[in-house]
Amino acid sequence: SDPDLVARARAAKATLGDKVFVLGHHYQRDEVIEFADVTGDSFKLARDAAARPDAEYIVFCGVHFMAESADILTGDDQRVILPDLAAGCSMADMATAEQVAECWDVLTEAGVAERTVPVSYMNSSADIKAFTGKHGGTICTSSNAKRALEWAFAQREPSSTKVLFLPDQHLGRNTAVRDLGMSLDDCVVYNPHKPNGGLTTEELRAAKMILWRGHCSVHGRFSLQSVNDVRARIPGVNVLVHPECKHEVVAAADQVGSTEYIIKALEAAPAGSKWAIGTELNLVRRLANRFAPEGKEIVFLDRTVCFCSTMNRIDLPHLVWTLESLVAGKTVNRIEVDEETAHFAKLALERMLALP
């Protein structure tokens, strides 16, 4: 990266000192990760920010919903900043507050709402988290989705409880089938673009899992063909994928796990082992470089899949602009969740923190 920008980022960060805390999501570019005080997945980063109440500015190098969660979990006097306001998440955008309210009306009319517990993936807007909190549900991450579903099914009469899973249909389906032993037929998909979600009342009444029709535009692109091709190309390869991948991909993989799980699995892998990883490319490249000296061969599961384009919007020029603005006393790009939304979203996040 541009040496002048690197020097400016260093100087601005040094001037700000402990007043600024820079969080770097695992999917960020190397040039940004270089300036991160901590790295992690969205949940770990929100908790890390909350553990630094002395930091006046939390610069969140990640996407919008992550900065919202950090704002909800940090103190009122801490300012959370997203270096590029256009860094959204296509999955989170697939479930709006209006659509989800309409879905709840459909469930109410079908007579199933009172038996339904919402479980929302961390990758959702603060509005969706607040909806979840208001209706007695919890948030989950890809590390605790199993425990979140088990908790949800224990909240009502066990034989008739349903879960409305938002917004990632793949994580919901994969967790229900792989971890809770449900069948694919226990799951239906609610399509917000169709009347009644495209479902009949009978289908809604029979389903155990009502999956929102959302997906990740990166992880959703890995295919069964990706897995078959890499096995043919690299004999003995271990295929390890994120649970945001499609069910058929997860079913064909050797191991499935969250970002933190993937990192730990590669740390523990023996020298000489070969791995094909199905998650975001910035992270896979960094892990491949990190473990190459230890004799671990790590490749990207499908060479036609690209970076997360919104994650990549945060680059060194945006980080430098952000830090230099703070040095000049200008708080730019602050992400602030309104009080009522934050209250109910926090309720849902706290239920997750209390999961057994």
Known binding residues for [4Fe-4S] cluster are: 89, 216, 308
Give the torsion through C-alpha atoms of 267, 272, 274, 275, to 10 deg. 10
Binds 217: which of ligand SF4, ligand CIZ, none (CB < 5-8 Å by kind): ligand SF4
The residue among 116 and 310 lying less far from ligand SF4, judged by its C-beta, is: 310
Is 122 an interacting residue with respect to ligand CIZ (CB under 6 A)? yes
Is 41 an interacting residue with respect to ligand CIZ (CB under 6 A)? yes
Dist. CA 232–CA 252, nearest whole Å: 14
Is 223 an interacting residue with respect to ligand SF4 (CB under 6 A)? no
Structure tokens at 133: 């909190």
Q: Angle, nearest 10°, between helix axes 3-16 and 316-327?
A: 40
| Of 90, 149, 152, 78, nearest in space to 124 by CA | 90
Out of 46, 89, 176, 262, name the contact with ligand SF4 by CB under 6 A.
Answer: 89
* 212, 164 Cβ separation under 8 angstroms: yes
Which x/- pattern over 195-234 shows residues binding ligand CIZ (rule: CB under 6 A)? Answer: ---------------------x------------------
* 116, 137 Cβ separation under 8 angstroms: no
Binds 90: which of ligand SF4, ligand CIZ, none (CB < 5-8 Å by kind): ligand SF4
Whole-number minimum distance, CB 252 to ligand SF4, in Å? 20
Out of 188, 216, 240, 281, name the contact with ligand SF4 by CB under 6 A.
Answer: 216
Binds 302: which of ligand SF4, ligand CIZ, none (CB < 5-8 Å by kind): none
Q: 93 to each of 63, 89, 335, how far by Cα in Å?
A: 12, 6, 16
DSSP code at position 294:
G
Contacts of residues 189-194 at CB distance under 8 Å and 24 or more positions apart, as own/partner, are 189/213, 190/103, 190/106, 190/164, 192/94, 192/95, 192/96, 192/99, 192/100, 192/102, 192/103
Binds 28: which of ligand SF4, ligand CIZ, none (CB < 5-8 Å by kind): none
Structure tokens at 168: 């990632």
Alpha carbon 233 to its chain's center: 30
Residue type, 182: M
Is 218 an interacting residue with respect to ligand SF4 (CB under 6 A)? yes
Q: Under rule CB under 6 A, how many of the chain's residues touch ligand SF4?
A: 13
Structure tokens at 37: 């005080």
Whole-number minimum distance, CB 83 to ligand CIZ, in Å? 17
The residue among 61 and 106 lying less far from ligand CIZ, judged by its C-beta, is: 61
Write the CB contacts of 235 (distance below 8 Å, at least 6 apart in sequence): none
The residue among 74 and 116 lying less far from ligand CIZ, judged by its C-beta, is: 74
Length of the chain equals: 356
The residue among 8 and 221 lying less far from ligand CIZ, judged by its C-beta, is: 221
Residue type, 43: F
Is 45 an interacting residue with respect to ligand SF4 (CB under 6 A)? no
Whole-number minimum distance, CB 80 to ligand SF4, in Å? 17
Dist. CA 221–CA 246, nearest whole Å: 8
Binds 112: which of ligand CIZ, ligand SF4, none (CB < 5-8 Å by kind): none
Q: Which residues bind ligand CIZ (CB under 6 A)?
A: 41-42, 122-123, 141-142, 216, 244, 259
